[in-house]
Structure 1
């Protein structure tokens, strides 16, 4: 067990060292490309290689200058609010629809072609149309997240329903369960692990989409903040933003993974 823990710590550290070396190599070849050391200073503050004293982006992430000028913490919070709003709507619509599709062949025949058509459509394709419809930054971002993250929930929920053992359904017939009783007592207990797998995938897509959506819609949010730093030629801050997006995405995935494991009866057997 201890050996496994050491490996989980040591191997990522080795990869991190390699990545930093590759990063340093790119910085040496590309003029004005941010170095790892300067990026660290831009993040936490200190003296740069040019002799400039800087206050890092992460040294005061909670500042609020005005409505449009806020610290990176508030940028992340604004993005997460949009993500969970769109994700929540996707869950509310996707789970019932997935249950119905999984339980009824007719609904499956009706919806499956449209799911397969719309599932691969890029969020950037939806964004202009939704912006035209809603004329609002938040509503556009939320609806874009909803329409692009709902598909894994529908597909995995339907898959969970189809994996219900036919013997269980026969028992439900013998006991004369109502459709609601059959869903809550037979289908959902089996389908829940699949539903949470779909939700985990959906949340990852939602966090992925929000960065692109905010870059194009503007306002406050980590995506717009990265784009704004690009316009200001602050390439160090772009890298900091990329790392923050990755860390937040990793944390969200770990949390959803833990929740999915908790509700997965297969791991408790």
Structure 2
């Protein structure tokens, strides 16, 4: 893995701060143009401080702190993402390693991949009889496709030299899987997982808006019903920040397993 110097960290931090300054400037300009119909960063900051002052309060089913809402969403995303990955990785390995697997499964992938999570939600309710189960279902079914595709691509691009080594040493199928296929495909698998977690985090908001209950998506919808645009903007910033942290975590994992050792 390529080492990162203190200078690189400082430069990246400066770029990030400059990017956030641009975002805040555009936001403030929009607030001025709309005559504060879109709340300004300053007024949103006031509401943010109120929300994080006591993030874990619980005054009933429809009155919970932002921390409880966020943790509830993270739990659903983690469960749905894990279930989707357990399906996606073996499916991608099968598609990438055999022509029969590719011909049989690729049409299924291409038909189901574009389907909106909102279209899956009624089926999830029918199958699981509960909104939580339906939300986890739509996360799993919509987030697994990038992992399937990237895993299949990684396996199918294994060089012939690697395959010949396995044949020359008489590797069993299990040894070939663990010593050649998976090590070569891992960077591609992590790339797929990185894309999948992003989709999972996007889907959770739509799912919780439909299902209600507890979660950051429900918080957005409830804030809209309460005509609190500041709370909606706070939720948007939290959703974006968590998404950024997810991406950075998988980017670090991807770099750790990258074949580029420069």
Q: TM-score normalized by structure 1?
A: 0.90
- Decide whether aligned partners of structure 1 residues 18 and 253 sit closer, same or farther in structure 2, where only a CA change above 3 A counts: closer
Pair 1:91-2:96 in alignment: no
Distance 1:10 1:181, change over 3 A: closer
Equivalences for residues 22-61 of structure 1 within 5 A = 22-31=26-35, 32-44=37-49, 56-61=50-55
Q: How does 1:23-172 map to 2 (within 5 A)?
A: 23-31=27-35, 32-44=37-49, 56-172=50-166
For 2:237 and 2:212, locate their aligned partners in 1 and report how far apart those are by CA, in whole Å: 20
How well do the aligned residues superpose, as a CA RMSD in angstroms?
Answer: 1.7
Partner of 2:22: 18
Q: Residue deviations 1:122-149, cap 9 Å, x none?
A: 1112112222322211110111011001
In 2, Cα distance between the equivalents of 1:76 and 1:113? 36
Aligned to 2:236: 242
For 1:3 and 1:92, the matched residues in 2 are separated by 39
What displacement does 1:3 show?
A: 6.1
In 1, Cα distance between equivalents of 2:24 and 2:223: 22
SS at 2:203's partner residue?
helix
The structure 1 residue matched to 2:13, chosen from 9, 15, 31, is 9
| Gap runs ≥5 in structure 2 | none
Aligned twin of 2:249: 255
Distance 2:253 2:15 in 1: 26
Aligned to 1:268: 261
Deviation at 1:24, TM superposition (A): 2.2
Distance verdict in 2 for CA 1:193–1:11, change over 3 Å: closer
Cα offset, 1:253, TM superposition = 1.0
Which residue of 1 is the match for residue 180 of structure 2? Answer: 186
Contact 2:61 2:213 in 1 (8 A): no
Structure 2 Cα separation of the partners of residues 2 and 23 of structure 1: 31
Work out the CA distance in 2 between the residues paired with 1:267 and 1:73.
Answer: 39
Describe the superposition over 1:60-79 as per-residue Cα deviations: whole angstroms up to 9, x where unpaired.
11212234422111111110
- CA–CA separation in structure 2 for the residues paired with 1:21 and 1:57: 23
1:82-135 Cα deviation digits (max 9, x unpaired):
101011011111111111111110110111112112112111121122223222
| Number of matched pairs | 257
The equivalent residue for 1:220 is 214
157-166 vs 232-241, greater mean Cα deviation: 157-166
Partners of 1:140 and 1:147 in 2: CA distance? 10
Relative contact order (alpha carbons < 8 A, sep ≥ 6): 1 or 2 greater? 2
